[in-house]
Structure 1
Amino acid sequence: MHLEFLGGAGEIGRSALLVDDRLLLDYGVDSGDPPRYPVGTPEPEAVVVSHGHLDHVGSLPTLLSGADRPSVHWTSPTRDLALLLVKDTLKLHGGTYDCPFTEAEVARLTQVSVTHRYREPFTVLGGAAGGGYDVTFYNAGHIPGSSHVLVDDGETRLLYGGDFNTADQRLVTGTTARPDADVVVCESTYADTDRPPREELERRFVESLEATRWEGGTTVVPAFAIGRTQEVMAICAEHDIACYVDGMGIRVARLLRQPRNEPFLSDSSVLRRACANARFVDGRDGQRKRIAAKPTVIITTSGMLHGGPAMTYVPEIRTHPANKIAFTGYQVDGTPGRELLDTGSAEIDGRVVPVSAQVEHYDFSAHADRRGLRRFLDAYRDATVHVTHGDRCDSFAEELSADGFDASAPAVGESIRH
């Protein structure tokens, strides 16, 4: 089995792994400024997708720009979320370098889509003479529909870990799958971080929301649209905290409530209750300014203050110290969210202004932390491990090697034969 790392190696973003020049695992984008795409010009016969985040699906339509029509295999939530994201990219950036595909290519993506359930093996590229791959999806515990991807060519069993979490969340249970594998491609996003127990983090978050509301303040909760918004909604519902929800997270919640997607939730009633507890915002007629003036909780995109409805709410609440901005995810260096955390100021409408509202950070990450990664990899001490999807892949690979693993951190563009 020949592996070529086209992206996501030694970095976070544009994940793409080409197997034997035939089978492509993920095809994402690094949505920075400017965006970066996987290297090379792969022409796969089939594509298998681990989950529906932009850094794993954002470049998929470009594979359909020519005469080729590779089949695309994924779970139903991954398909729905991927289509939502690429259509949104087309709407925002169509016709520019930030969107290297057209509406026609997005339409073709729906035509080649094939969905699968967890633990139900399927064959890709196999004919009467064989030569294909047996593929199985396993729950990865990251977001609804996220998968570990096991690829078996009859000689080598490759486990492409995707993004995964070993801890339970409100919507999905942590991964317990440990299928036999000879080669493991493992993420390392939080390889140097040990997070507190989820219960403790939720308790502090809920206490903060309630304290702000009791003091007459408004809390804006910037949250990623996929997974994080719905998790925070579920936390609020569990503790009877009324909340407003704004941005793409509303569409994601509705997609996940579709009957075809509910089997990928640990308990579909959790999301139903979360939606019933929340008030969805459509943003018409000055609605957002009126909401921001209330002592309430507002869950809104964008999670790093890149834009979106959050940048309507933050200016409205920034001047009063009784108000609060509660981040729920990692803030990448150079983003407005990171700037606000580090300096107490934020860029709003093209100028940097001070923020008197309180600023807090709660790491509700959907990635495994260092302990979770090590627990997962303990099952693969006899396998070859390739460390990817992280800022410090080399150091984690060195740590694993010192502990007896056959581990390495490939570079983008590197090819390895097994």
Structure 2
Amino acid sequence: MINLHHHGATSGVTGSCHELTLTQGSHESGILIDCGLFQGQDEGRGASASDLSIDFPIDHIRALVVTHVHIDHVGRIPYLLAAGFDGPIICSEPSAIMLPEILEDALKIGFTRDRQLIERVLGLIRSRLVPVPYGQWHSVFAEGDCSLSVRLQRAGHILGSAYVECDAREGETEERIVFSGDLGAPHAPLLPAPQSPERADRLVIESTYGDKDHEDRERRRYRLKAVLEHALEDGGTVLVPAFSIGRTQELLYEIESLIHEFGGELWNNLEIVVDSPLAADFTRIYRDLKPYWDAEATELVRQGRHPLSFEQLTVINSHDEHLNAVDYLARSHRPCVVLAGSGMCAGGRIVNYLKAMLGDRRNNVLFVGYQAADTPGRDILNYGRKEGWVQFDGNRYDIRARIHQVSGYSAHAGQSDLLRFIQGISQAPQEIRIVHGDEDAKQAFKKELDRLLSSEVLIPLGS
């Protein structure tokens, strides 16, 4: 039998971990697709180290396939290794470069501060990495009547992101099973849009925005412009809680294009601050991996533009510099945009900025990504427009700053994009499993799929 099991992202949008297993007699062989961190209260579990145990059998798992390096897809890999997993980690070539970087940061925050231990874990991870070019089949195992091969295709979500095609054979039974990972929206900056698979007998698909569509790129770009102009006029700071990979780089790209288009004294006085060593590292990696950029971004570089490295961009690395920046911007009236992690305001340097600046009406908070339930980011969105409060470290902070959300920079496909991805498959999948979404989003997406297709559409529970 060819079976699917889900060990995360079944009652929320984080903790992605899916299993494909071939069973012949008493013998099982399988792979995992992602092994991610739970955030907020997904699955009724928090994001602390005590909640990250691998609570499912792994003796038969032959390989881990990573769709992309966001922490909710890779954050439990150290725990998977600790549980005894000794197989390869298959991923795209850009992801192979970025995965140790993101896990180093995760290890320091949630695992240990012991530098030698961190280096041993990272060394083990690097030794297991198997970078696979896009569009190339890779055999995971072939034994007797059982075989499994995987192929990665561009997902357009972040640099290196992929959806995974799996060709599984068990005796006379052959199936192609596709795992979407996280799909990007068309026309997003920097990366080519995902193309539909040629075939999928079964499809496991994300549904983060299964109930809504994003603003188109031009509209969200001008909404971004309006928020920044407000900051310029009021001498305030725009705080952007941004994920280090993907969102930060897309925003820098768009801000550079606005400065280039509008220029003048007003825009030339705007300072852009990236206050995150990790985001700075990944911005450098994005610059180094220009061959994976889309045609539009490549043309800008050919023209001599530097969309991820421009004159008004400042990077803050040390903690002392960070604290000085918080204090200076809270007191000054200098217009500034600060991009800092974490994206859901659950920790990281953005928290210090929010504590110091949420109470000032001159300032703005701009959300550009999904905010999971029971995170401070969701609370600011829910209560900030009513001038409510948010809690950090047991203390209440009044929200007087203006709160904005521009969903198009979420890096996730909207409902119409997800439907196009599925309808682009030449023959509709026999079975579609909806994961990685809040309940309302999954139900709305299922309703649309039931209306449009004859496929069996399931919303699986966790294993």
**Hey, what's the Cα distance between the residues in 2 that align with 1:167 and 1:69?**
37
Q: Deviations over 1:45-88 (max 9, x none)?
A: 11111111112111122332366520111013323333222211
1:34 is matched with which residue: 33, 38, 46? Answer: 46
1:190 is matched with which residue: 209, 228, 234? Answer: 209
**Hey, what's the Cα distance between the residues in 2 that align with 1:316 and 1:56?**
32
Counterparts in 2 of 1:203-282, with a 5 A limit?
203-240=222-259, 242-247=271-276, 248-258=278-288, 261-266=289-294, 267=297, 272-277=306-311, 278-282=313-317
Q: Deviations over 1:249-298 (max 9, x none)?
A: 1122122233xx33322235669422234211124352442245322211
**Hey, what's the Cα distance between the residues in 1 that align with 2:392 and 2:14?**
26
The answer as to whether partners of 1:24 and 1:47 remain within 8 angstroms in 2 is yes
Per the alignment, residue 400 of structure 1 pairs with 449
Q: Deviations over 1:101-141 (max 9, x none)?
A: 965333211101010121122222236x6743222111111
1:116 is matched with which residue: 105, 109, 132? Answer: 132
Seen in structure 2, the aligned counterparts of structure 1 residues 382 and 296 have a Cα distance that, compared at 3 Å, is closer
1:328 positional shift? 1.5
> Residue type of the partner of 1:361?
Q
2:289 is the alignment partner of 1:289? no
Seen in structure 2, the aligned counterparts of structure 1 residues 205 and 302 have a Cα distance that, compared at 3 Å, is same
How many positions carry a matched residue from both structures? Answer: 406
2:157 is matched with which residue: 111, 119, 142? Answer: 142
RMSD: 2.4
1:305 positional shift? 1.9
The answer as to whether partners of 2:13 and 2:372 remain within 8 angstroms in 1 is no
**Hey, what's the Cα distance between the residues in 1 that align with 2:273 and 2:399?**
22
Percent sequence identity over matched residues?
27
Task: Return the TM-score normalized by structure 1.
Answer: 0.89
1:8 positional shift? 1.9
Q: Which has the higher helix share?
A: 2
The alignment partner of 2:309 has SS state of: helix
Counterparts in 2 of 1:19-418, with a 5 A limit?
19-20=20-21, 21-32=29-40, 34-35=46-47, 36-37=51-52, 39-43=55-59, 44-65=61-82, 68-95=85-112, 104-126=120-142, 131-154=146-169, 155-240=174-259, 242-247=271-276, 248-258=278-288, 261-266=289-294, 267=297, 272-277=306-311, 278-283=313-318, 284-285=320-321, 286-292=324-330, 293=332, 294-344=334-384, 345-348=389-392, 350-363=394-407, 364-380=409-425, 381-392=428-439, 393-403=442-452, 404-413=454-463
Q: Deviations over 1:146-172 (max 9, x none)?
A: 101111124111111111024121121
The answer as to whether partners of 2:202 and 2:429 remain within 8 angstroms in 1 is no
5+ residue gaps in structure 1? 414-418
> Residue type of the partner of 2:273?
Y
Seen in structure 2, the aligned counterparts of structure 1 residues 107 and 387 have a Cα distance that, compared at 3 Å, is same
The alignment partner of 1:40 has SS state of: coil
Indicate the larger mover: 316-325 or 163-172.
Answer: 316-325
**Hey, what's the Cα distance between the residues in 1 that align with 2:130 and 2:3?**
25
Seen in structure 2, the aligned counterparts of structure 1 residues 47 and 28 have a Cα distance that, compared at 3 Å, is same
The answer as to whether partners of 1:4 and 1:19 remain within 8 angstroms in 2 is yes
**Hey, what's the Cα distance between the residues in 1 that align with 2:85 and 2:394?**
43
Q: Deviations over 1:345-384 (max 9, x none)?
A: 2324531121322221111211111111111111342432
> Residue type of the partner of 2:433?
H
**Hey, what's the Cα distance between the residues in 1 that align with 2:457 and 2:342?**
36
The alignment partner of 2:15 has SS state of: coil
The alignment partner of 1:153 has SS state of: strand
